């Protein structure tokens, strides 16, 4: 579905939404460009009516989302491989990974170091421990974020949501209505609180508007005016989402 503001159109697909900047200039055809950092820009002559542009986007939405998905799947820097001495992120802060030999596989965080006690050096073992660590960190980070953001919704009569998490590959969060359950993507545990807050606010806005309508984005912008900038920054952490 699609909503309009004066110079931006929003297109939504699979629980994610994308802004399309409308550029009015003396061109013959409507053209859509996707830039490397994920910006969508649509150029059209000044006299092309907005519904016509919406229709254009709708007709090409499959191709647009395919291109966006391709772009998003290209990591900007190589993904981490959980090597001894490698730099990790937890809550947006850097930690150094340190391998230790252990009698059982376990992971712990101390100071600025993440210690992995390993019975073997298999990548699958390390990754399992990494997921365990993210899950543990996420529990505090996600609950804190909901506690921090909930008061911002006091004018909207929403109930305090239940918080869950799981690893997901196509979305940062989801909201189950009317049960009021917000599920965070466990990978968000690598991100700083201000980026987690963006996902929290997005999902909590779904407690008010289940869709990605214009009214949804109005509430979103009212509560978090810089949400677009925060959403963009999420992709900086993709190398840590292995």
Q: Of residues 38-97, which lie at the interface with Zn ion (CB under 5 A)?
A: none
Nearest distance, CB of residue 139 and Zn ion, angstroms: 23
Q: Which stretch binds Zn ion (CB under 5 A): 9-17, 26-34, 61-69, 146-154?
A: 9-17
CA-nearest of 24, 45, 43 to 35 is: 43
Q: How many residues bind Zn ion (CB under 5 A)?
A: 1
Q: Which is nearer to Zn ion, 15 or 109 (CB)?
A: 15
Q: How far is the CB of 147 from Zn ion (least distance, A)?
A: 21
Q: Which stretch binds Zn ion (CB under 5 A): 15-23, 68-76, 131-139, 154-162?
A: 15-23
Closest distance of CB 170 from Zn ion, Å:
12
Q: Beta strands of 74-198 (E only): which ranges?
A: 87-90, 93-101, 106-110, 113-118, 162-166, 173-176, 181-185
Q: How many CA atoms lie within 13 A of 52 on its CB side?
A: 10
Report the relative pairing of strands 181-185 and 106-110 from DSSP bridges.
unpaired
Identity of the residue, 97 or 163, whose beta carbon is nearer to Zn ion in the bound complex:
163
- Residue 33: enclosing H or E segment and its boundaries? strand 31-34
Q: From CA 69, how far away is CA 18, in angstroms rounded?
A: 12
Q: Interface with Zn ion by CB under 5 A: which residues?
A: 15
């Amino acid at each position: 579905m699609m909503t309009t503001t004066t110079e931006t159109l929003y297109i939504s697909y699979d629980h994610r939404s994308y802004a399309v900047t409308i550029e009015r200039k003396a061109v013959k055809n409507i053209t859509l460009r996707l830039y490397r950092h994920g910006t969508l820009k649509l150029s059209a002559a000044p006299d092309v009516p907005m519904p016509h542009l919406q229709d254009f986007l709708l007709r090409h939405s499959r191709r647009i989302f395919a291109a966006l998905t391709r772009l998003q799947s290209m990591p900007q820097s190589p993904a981490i491989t959980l090597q001894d001495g490698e730099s990790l992120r937890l809550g947006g802060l850097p930690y150094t990974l340190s391998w230790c030999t252990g009698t059982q596989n376990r992971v712990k965080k101390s100071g600025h170091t993440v210690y992995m006690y390993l019975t073997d050096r298999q990548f699958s073992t390390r990754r399992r421990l990494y997921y365990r660590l993210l899950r543990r960190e996420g529990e505090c980070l996600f609950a804190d974020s909901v506690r921090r953001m909930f008061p911002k919704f006091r004018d909207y009569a929403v109930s305090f949501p239940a918080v869950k998490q799981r690893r997901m590959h196509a979305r940062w969060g989801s909201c189950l209505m009317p049960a009021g359950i917000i599920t965070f993507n466990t990978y968000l545990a690598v991100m700083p609180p201000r980026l987690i807050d963006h996902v929290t606010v997005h999902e909590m806005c779904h407690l008010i508007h289940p869709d990605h309508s214009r009214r949804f984005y109005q509430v979103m912008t009212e509560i978090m005016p810089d949400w677009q900038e925060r959403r963009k920054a999420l992709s900086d952490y993709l190398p840590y989402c292995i």
